[in-house]
Copies of this chain bind each other. A is one copy, B any other.
Amino acid sequence: VPAPAQTSTAAVVSAARELLERVGPDGLTMQAVAEAVGVRAPSLYKRVPDRAGLLRLVIEDAAAELVDTFAAAAATGEPRDDLRALLEATRAFSRQRPKAFALIFAPGAQPEAARQVAEQTSTDLLRVVAALVGQEQSLPAARTVVAWALGFISMEQAGAFRLGGDVDAAWDYGINLLTRALDPAP
């Protein structure tokens, strides 16, 4: 007599995603996930290989969503506006799923997810940056933009920016400064 399935891989991953954002990576225990989907912890091993594998699924899922968000923001209009749109989309996603966003790019955490994002976003970003600075230096220029954006978002989520001032204004300032530097002759 086969026992009916009480849950599914999708439900497990979904519960893990919500737990990650609500209580952080340390709170993402197998028992908490099991309780959220209505089974006992050992049953989760019928759905995912182990905790690391579950976390990998959550992060790769978030990475795929980030790629989609990024692709949806890609346009082929005025390069300055296009660059801003890509950066705003990235920051907006980081606010929707801050913990997953941090884990995608965390050192040593999930190389595959970071590689996936890098591969699937680099074409759009390089095109826009090349439109501003030229083909030749588009790679180091794009790296400068990405480093700034990831650093800014990381600081924002870490609660840096304690010397006062407007954080949104600092974000705009950074975009404007980089854009101006990439294409000094408007």
Chain A positions within 8 Å of B, measured between CB atoms, are 24, 98, 102, 105-109, 111, 114-115, 118, 122, 137, 139-141, 143-144, 146-152, 154-155, 157-165, 169-170, 173-174, 177-178, 180-182, 184
Name the residue among A107, A115, A150, A161 with the largest chain B CB count within 10 angstroms: A107
Contact assessment for B108 and A24 in the assembled complex, using a CB-CB cutoff below 8 Å = yes
Instruction: For A106, list chain B residues within 8 Å (CB).
Output: 158
Residue of B nearest to A158 (CB): B107
Contact assessment for B115 and A162 in the assembled complex, using a CB-CB cutoff below 8 Å = yes
- Across the interface, A107 reaches (CB within 8 A) one of B140, B154, B163, namely B154
15 pairs from A and B in contact (CB 8 Å cutoff): A24-B108, A105-B160, A109-B158, A114-B159, A139-B163, A139-B164, A140-B173, A144-B148, A146-B151, A147-B149, A147-B151, A148-B148, A149-B151, A151-B154, A181-B181
Would A111 and B151 be within 8 Å (CB), given that A141-B177, A170-B143 are in contact?
A: no
Would A105 and B158 be within 8 Å (CB), given that A140-B174, A152-B151, A173-B140 are in contact?
A: yes
Contact assessment for B152 and A108 in the assembled complex, using a CB-CB cutoff below 8 Å = no
Residue of B nearest to A173 (CB): B140
